[in-house]
Amino acid sequence: MTVPLTFRRAQASDAAALADLARQTFIDTYGPYTDPEDVRLHCDKSFGVAQQLSEIEDPNYIVILVYHQDELIAFTEVVQRPAPDCVKVEKTICLYRYYVKQEWHGKGIATPLLQEIEKAAHDSGAEYLWLSMWAPNQRAKAYYLKVGFEEVGLMEYHFGTKVEQDLVLLKRL
């Protein structure tokens, strides 16, 4: 069964809905496995309305929203930023955020969303897509490897009061 989806670029008027979805999906993904205070600190820093508006309006960001009928069910952000040293290629863009509401996991959202991400990345002039991910998230890692990403190294990631080592993955577009 194919779920009808609508993809569109985020606009300033989407900042509040995006902030809510970002916070919800982040808590659903990491909340059960990490310190609640670190989750709160991270969400306060990363997912406020002002932060989302700033990212939507920043020309270095491409923010894509995914709707099923009138429900916002997923979003992604790709951003032009320097890749970590373990990425040994040029013409890269970062897959910064890639979140789907928990109740939509396993319903065929990931593949068409990745196609939208790759199209946006390619249209930006990038030849490679890189991302960093929380190493213990084996479900995400398995998905990324299945769709053509390769593990290329590690990078520091500041999360709440901690500094963690994230996996860095790379895919040729």
Q: Tell me how many domains the chain contains.
A: 1
Written as one string, the DSSP assignment of 30-41 is HGGGS-HHHHHH
Please list, in sequence order, all residues whose beta carbon lies within 8 angstroms of the beta carbon of residue 87, skipping any fewer than 6 positions away. 128, 130, 152, 153, 168, 170
Residue 68 or residue 160, greater confidence: 68
Q: 1 lies in a domain?
A: no
Question: Given this model, what pLDDT does residue 40 score?
Answer: 82
| Residue 62 domain-assigned (yes or no) | yes
Residue 19's domain is classified under what CATH number?
3.40.630.30
pLDDT for position 74: 97
Average pLDDT for residues 113-124, to the nearest whole number?
95
User: Which pLDDT belongs to residue 1?
Assistant: 53
Which residue in this structure is represented by tokens 């929203």?
65
Give the structural domain span for 92.
6-172
pLDDT of residue 30: 79
Does pLDDT of 49 surpass 60? Answer: yes
